[in-house]
Structure 1
Amino acid sequence: MELRELNYITAIGKTRHMTHAANELYISQPALYKSLRKIEAEFGTPLFYRKGNELLPTDTGEIVLEKAGEISALIAQMNDAVAATKHLKQGKVRIGFPSIVGTMYLPNLLIQFQQKYPGISLNTVEAGGNALAEMVVSGDVDMAIIMRPVYSELLNEIPLIKNQIVAGIKPSHPWNNKSFVTIKDFEETPFITFDKTFNVRAQLDKHFRANNVHPNIAFEGASCQFLFELADLSGKIIVLPKPMIEFYAKEEIKILPFKPAFPWELSLIFQKNSFLSTASKALINHIQEYVFTHYQ
C-alpha cells in the first residue's frame, strides 16, 4: 500500500461517505472507489460496509484505520523534526579538543553557541590531538580542534589560530639579556615542557632530532598549571605555545621567541567527503566567526 492510498482510507473512515471523502481528497468519486477496491483486494477482505448512507469500517477496517493514524502521526513527527533540524531548533553535534585548548579558548565560544541554538545538544570530548584526529576519522566525534600539522588525508581542516612556540623565563634568569633562543640553546640548559602525549612535544622532538640536539628536559607533564608551578619553584625555562604562557603565567615572565620562528597553529578538522549535519555546519560557522572576531 502506498502512502497516498493510506490517506484515501483515512479520508473514507473520517467522512464515512465516498463523495465527501473524494471532495476532501480532490479526486473523483469513481477514482476513489477504484482505489478502495484495489486496496481491499490486496488485503483480501473488505475494509468498509454500507449502513444506510454511511460507510462504516469492518473489523479489518478498524485495524487499518488505527494503524493508518499511527503512521500519519509518525510522518507528522518526522516532518516536524526535519523542519526543526533545518531551522536549527534541534540537532546534535560532537566536538573534541585538548583540555588546555578548551580551557583557553572554548568556554565563551560554546556558551554563546548554546545561547544562539538552545535546541542543539552539544557534546564535548577532551583528548590529545592524535587521538582526536582518529576519533574524527572514525566518526566518534563530528569535528575537533587540534594543533597543526594534520597528517591524515581523510580530514579537511580550517586554520583557526596562528602563533608560535616560545621560551618563557623569569626576569632573574641568566638568559634575560637574550632577545631570542635557538634549538641548540637547549642542548644543555634544562627546561620544562609538555610530555609526549602532546603534539607540541612531538614537534619539539622533531626539531631537536633534525638539529642533532639532545634536549635537557628537567620536567614534563600534561597540565599547564602543574608545569608553571614547577617553573615558578625551580626558576627553570618553560617552553610552550605563547598564548599558554600568557594565559597561565602568575607573575611577570619574559617571552623569548625561537629563531627561526617555531609556529604553533590550531585547526578545526572534520571528515573529508562526508555528510555534515545542519547542526555541525552551524557550529563550524560559529567557531570561524568567533575566532575571527576575537583572535584575528
Structure 2
Amino acid sequence: MEIRELNYFVTVAKYKSFTKASEALHVTQPTLSKVVKSLEKQLDVTLFHRSARRSELTDVGEVVYGQALKILNLVEELDVVLEDVTHLQKGKIKIGMPPLIGILFFPKMIKGFQEKFPGITIEIDERGANVIKDLVATGELDLGFVMLPADMEEFHVIPYTSQQLMLIVNRSNPLANKETVMMKDLKNEPMLLFSQDFTLHDCILQECEQAGFTPNIAYESSQWDFISQMVEHDLGIAMFPKAIAEKVNPMAVKAIPIVNPSIPWEIVLIAKKGHYVSHATKGFIKYIAPNYAI
C-alpha cells in the first residue's frame, strides 16, 4: 500500500466521482480506476458502489476512508515537523559542560542562541571534561565543552576560548608577596585540585611533573567555590582559570599569574566524528563558530 493510493482513494470518496477526482488529481480516469482497484485487491474488499452518476463508499469503504484520512494527516504532519526541524524551528541538543565552563559562559551563550532559535531545547549535563569526552564518544551527548587535549581523530574539535591558569593563595601565605610565580615555587605547598573527572586535574599533575616534583594533594573537589573557601581558610593553594580567579574573595585570597611556563586553559567544543549530526546541533555549532564547517 502506498500513500499515493490512499490519496487517490480519499479524493474519489470526497468527490464521489472518478471523473471529478481524476480532474482534481490531474491524472487520467483509467489510471485512477486502476489505482483504486489495486488498493481494493490489496485489502480484499470493495470500497465503492459504482454507478454511472456517483461512486458511494461501501460500509468497509467508510472504515478505510476514516483510517486513510488519519494516515494522510500524519504524513502531512510529518512533513511539517521535518520542515520545522530542518529550518531549526524545533529540535533538542544534549550538551556536556563542566561546571567551570557553565559558570563562566553558559548563561550568555544559551540566552543568545535561544533568542535566535526559541524552538530548540538545550539539555545540559554538568560533568568533568574527562567524563564528557566519554559520553560524546558513545553518543550519549551530542556535544561537549571540554579542556584540551582532545582526540582530533575521534572528535571534531572546535575552538571556543582560551585563558591562562592563575595561582590563588591565602594572603597570609608567603607566595602572596610575589607578583608572578613559577611551578617550581609550589613544590612544598599543599594543593587543592579539581577531582579526577576534570581534565584540569590531569593538566596540573603534568605541569608539576615537568617542574620536577610530585604535588602534595591536600583535597580534591568538583566545586570551584568550595576550593576557593578552602584557600580562604589557608588549607592549601589552588589553580583556577583567570576568569574564575577573578571571582575569589580579594580580601582573603590573592590571584597570581603563573609564568615560565604559563599554563593555558583552552576550551573547545567537541562532536563525535562519524556520527549523524542533527540540524539543531549543526545550528548550535554554527552559532558558536560561524566559520567552522562540520
Corresponding residue of 1:96? 96
Percent of matched pairs sharing the same residue: 30
Greater shift in the superposed pair: 45-54 or 10-19 = 45-54
RMSD: 2.1
2:165–2:257 Cα contact (<8 Å) kept: no
Deviation at 1:70, TM superposition (A): 0.9
Partner of 2:270: 269
Which stretch shows the higher mean deviation, 228-237 or 56-65? 228-237
Summarize deviations over 1:81-134 as a string: whole Å, max 9, x none. 011112222111111101121011111211222222221111111111111111
Counterparts of 1:192-203 in structure 2, within 5 Å, are 192-203=192-203
Q: Separation in 2 of the partners of 1:236 and 1:46?
A: 86
1:116 corresponds to 2:121 = no
The aligned counterpart of 2:5 is 5
Whether the 8 Å CA contact 2:146–2:268 is kept in 1: the answer is: yes
Listed one character per residue, the Cα deviations across residues 151-199 of structure 1 (whole Å, up to 9, x for unaligned) are 3732111111111222134555423453432222222133433233321
Q: Cα offset for 1:220?
A: 3.3
Q: Which amino acid aligns with 1:226?
A: F
Q: Is the 8 A contact 2:47 2:57 kept in 1?
A: yes
Match of residue 81 from structure 2: 81
Unaligned stretches of 5+ residues in structure 1: 290-296
The 1:50–1:176 alpha-carbon spacing in structure 2 relative to 1, beyond 3 Å, is closer
1:259 matched to 2:260? The reply is yes
**Pair 1:220-2:236 in alignment:** no
Amino acid at match of 1:284: I
Deviation string, structure 1 residues 266-288 (Cα, Å, up to 9, x no partner): 11011112221111112222233
Aligned AA for 1:85?
V
Shift of 1:236: 4.7
Aligned to 2:137: 137
Matched AA of 2:79: N
Deviates most, 226-235 or 74-83: 226-235
Show the counterpart of 2:285: 284
Q: Which amino acid aligns with 1:46?
A: T
3-state DSSP of counterpart to 2:289: helix
Which structure 2 segments of 5+ residues have no match? none
Contact 1:166 1:258 in 2 (8 A): no
Alpha-carbon distance in 2 for matches of 1:34, 1:254? 83
Residues 4-56 of structure 1, C-alpha deviations (whole Å, 9 max, x = no match): 22111111100001110110111112222232233323333321113562111
Once the two structures are superposed, the pairs formed by residues 51-62 of structure 1 within 5 Å of their partners are 51=51, 53-62=53-62
Question: Normalising to structure 2: TM-score of the pair?
Answer: 0.90
Alpha-carbon shift at residue 219 of structure 1 (Å): 3.7
Aligned to 1:294: none
| Higher normalized helix content (fraction of residues) | 1
Q: In the alignment, residue 272 of structure 1 is paired with which amino acid?
A: K
CA contact (8 A) 1:170 1:254 kept: no
**1:165–1:242 Cα contact (<8 Å) kept:** yes
Change (3 A) 1:244 1:159: same
